[in-house]
Each structure stands twice: as C-alpha cells, then as structure tokens.
Amino acid sequence: MRHFLTLNDFNKDELLSMLDLALELKVQALHGQVPPYLGGKVLAMIFEKSSTRTRVSFESGIYQLGGHGIFLSHKDIQLGRGEPIKDTARVISSMVDMVMMRTGAHERLEEFAEACSVPLINGLSDDFHPMQLMADYLTMIECGIYVPHFHALYPKEGRIPVVAYIGDGNNMAHSWINLAAILGFELRIATPEGYAPKDAILSRAQALCAQSGGKIIVGRDCKEAVSGANVVTTDTWASMGQEEQKKERERAFAGFCVDTAMMKLADSNAIFLHCLPAYRGQEVSEEVIDGAQSRVFREAQNRLHAQKGVMLYLARVNNIPLVRV
C-alpha cells in the first residue's frame, strides 16, 4: 500500500507526475469539466487538529472528483476517547477508500498507516506538512519560477530556483528541506538560534542532495538567505499547540519579519508565499502579504488542485477502480 506521509515516500518523477495531474485537473476545473474519476469513492478525514484550508480543500476536492468526504473530529470518534490507533485504522479503512489524517506527533500517522488497508494522506503532523508543499510548488510553476521538468515556462534554461525560508524550523521547514532534496533546488533557511530544523531530517536531505543537485543552507542571517531568491516564504512563529510559547517566541524571532525591506533583497520577480494563517506584523508585514509580490491566496487555492492530483495518483498506483470517462 502506497501512503503519502512525507514527500520522501515518493521520488522526483512520482511527485512531478502528481503535479502534472494537478495542473490538468485545475484546467478542467476552470472549464467546469472535472471528470468524476473517483465517483462513488469515500475519503475519511480525521482531524485531531482543526483547520480551515485542509478541510475545505480535501472535502471540495473529493467532491469535485465525484466522491464524498466524511469529516471526523477526534471529539466525535472513539480515537479521542483512547481507542488504540490501530483499531481505529482497521475499522475506518474497511469502510472507506482513502483516509486523510491531520494530527500531532508524526508517529501517530505511522502507527495508523501500519494498520490502514487504504491509502493514508498526511494532512499535517508536527514534523511534516507535505500537502502544503505540493501546493507551493504548483504555485511556483504557475508563477513562472524556473523548475526542473517544467522549464519551458521560464526562459532561464539551466537555472534552478532559490527558495528562502525565514522563521521557525518547524514542519514547513522540514517539508521544504525534503522537497529541495528530492527535486533539486537551492533552499536557504534562516532561523533564530535554538529554532533550527531537526538534525536527522536535515542530514537525510543533505545525502539526497548529492544525487539530485539540490543545495540546502541553514543559518541565522535573513538578509543572506533572501538575497537574490526567487521565492521568499515563512510561517507563523507559534504553531498550533505552541500558544503558551507565543511571547517567548516573539522575542526570539525579533528581526525575522519578512517586510518590504527584506523583499527588496530578493530577485525583482520574486514571489512571497505563506501557508496561512498569517499574523500580520509578526512573521510578515501587512505590505508584503497584501502586496504585488504575494501569491499566498493563489497558493491557498492550489491546495485544492494539488490534493486532487495526489488523491487521483494514489488511487491509480494502489489499483483503486476509477470511473471510466
């Protein structure tokens, strides 16, 4: 069974195939002609952490593909009352065709996957947010950032994109690290001292870079990271579950706000991305997130199309019968 727990579950060609599907499905959606490939199929959506974009994009996505989504809050199912994860996984996967889970510890996803008899998709965990990165890369493609495989969209042949990630070394940073290592682009990360990405995740990615041609640099200097970058991105300083650390983190992250002055250091055609929700005046200024270089709302909308591509790809590789069109 092929699950999608992290970007590392797939190679470069497989991830690009999903993005090909996403682009195709987006064009079809814009013309109101999305075939019901997953007609009659059911997606169970388990939310141990609340969300706006993850719920709406997955529920709308499965519906547009002809299927149906079931929202399962941890408060409403036995998982929230202490039922073993493996028991919940066995039961739910015996009744549906695919599962999306948004949770805390990544180990919970891994345990669920071991007992799950249908494809499982990581909607977010404390360590990784792969669906967001699929949407981010799709947005880069659409915005004309040169990316391998889609090079015809950008005139600078042979140039790999430079992405600058400013802020917390969290699940978003980890997923950017994975994507850079697999697809082979340059990633520069700037974090305050004590907030760097996990060493194990970084070490594995650095080893992959030797094969892909990717380059990952982790430091403390925001200006150095952003200089000449094609993409500047960040995330909230205090993620869900870290609310009690908010004041401490605000002090630690002083100087890490992506503002107009910082964006001026990037490439003149650079775009700004943020997974949302954003806190204006903290990790990003009002002028940047609502400015001409911001693509955050296209990025958010691309969650829908990227995830449709992922769901359709997983259905195909796991031999789930599709509706013939």
Question: DSSP states of 67-89 as a string?
Answer: -EEEEEETTTSGGGGT--HHHHH
Instruction: Kindly tell me the sign of the dihedral angle through the C-alpha atoms of 147, 148, 153, 157.
Output: positive
Q: Is 52 annotated as a binding residue?
A: yes
The residue ranges of DSSP E strands in the chain, in sequence order, are 42-47, 68-73, 98-102, 120-124, 162-166, 186-190, 215-219, 231-234, 271-274
Q: Is 239 annotated as a binding residue?
A: yes
Catalytic residue among 188, 274, 295, 303: 303
The C-alpha angle with vertex 308 and arms to 324 and 304, in degrees rounded to 5, equals 145
Catalytic residue among 3, 106, 132, 257: 132
**Annotation marks residue 249 as catalytic:** no
**Annotation marks residue 129 as catalytic:** yes
Q: Is 303 annotated as a binding residue?
A: yes
Catalytic residue among 3, 106, 129, 249: 129
- Check: CB of residue 36 under 8 Å from CB of residue 311: no
- Check: CB of residue 228 under 8 Å from CB of residue 242: no
For residue 155, count other CB atoms closer than 10 A to its CB: 9
Euclidean distance between CA atoms 101 and 87, whole angstroms = 15
Instruction: Identify the bridge partners of residue 186 per DSSP, sorted by sequence position.
Output: 162, 215
For residue 165, count other CB atoms closer than 10 A to its CB: 28
Q: Work out the pLDDT band at 308, boundaries 50, 70, 90.
A: very high
pTM of the complete model: 0.95
Q: Report which DSSP code applies to 135.
A: H
> What mean pLDDT is predicted for residues 56-81?
94
The whole-chain average pLDDT of the chain stands at: 93
**Annotation marks residue 102 as catalytic:** yes
Q: Is 131 annotated as a binding residue?
A: yes
Can the peptide bond before residue 36 be classed as cis, meaning omega within 30 degrees of 0? no
Q: Is 149 annotated as a binding residue?
A: no
Q: Is 240 exposed, middle or buried (0-12, 13-18, 19+ CB in 10 A)?
A: middle
Euclidean distance between CA atoms 18 and 176, whole angstroms = 17
- Give 16-50 as a DSSP string: HHHHHHHHHHHHHHHTT----TTTT-EEEEEESS-
Q: Is 130 annotated as a binding residue?
A: yes
Q: Is 43 annotated as a binding residue?
A: no
> What mean pLDDT is predicted for residues 227-240?
91
Q: Which fold is adopted by the domain 130-300?
A: Rossmann fold (3.40.50)
Q: Report which DSSP code applies to 159.
A: P
The C-alpha angle with vertex 153 and arms to 151 and 158, in degrees rounded to 5, equals 30
Catalytic residue among 102, 188, 249, 295: 102
The pair of structure tokens assigned to 53 is 């974009």
Q: Is 51 annotated as a binding residue?
A: yes
Q: Is 90 annotated as a binding residue?
A: no
Integer-rounded Cα Rg, in Å, for the chain is 19
Query: What is the reported pLDDT for 46?
Result: 97
Q: Which fold is adopted by the domain 7-128+303-318?
A: Rossmann fold (3.40.50)
Query: What is the reported pLDDT for 247?
Result: 86
Query: What is the reported pLDDT for 184?
Result: 92
Hey, where are the domains in the chain?
7-128+303-318, 130-300
Q: Is 102 annotated as a binding residue?
A: yes
pLDDT at 32 exceeding the cut of 50: yes
- Check: CB of residue 95 under 8 Å from CB of residue 70: no
Residues of the chain above pLDDT 70, percent: 94
Same fold, 7-128+303-318 and 130-300: yes
Catalytic residue among 209, 275, 293, 295: 275
Q: Report which DSSP code applies to 139.
A: H
Tens of pLDDT, residue by residue over 137-172, are 999 989 877 555 554 444 444 567 899 999 999 999
**Annotation marks residue 74 as catalytic:** no
Query: What is the reported pLDDT for 99?
Result: 98
For residue 217, count other CB atoms closer than 10 A to its CB: 13
**Annotation marks residue 316 as catalytic:** no
Catalytic residue among 235, 267, 282, 293: 235
> What mean pLDDT is predicted for residues 7-16?
96
Q: Report which DSSP code applies to 243.
A: G
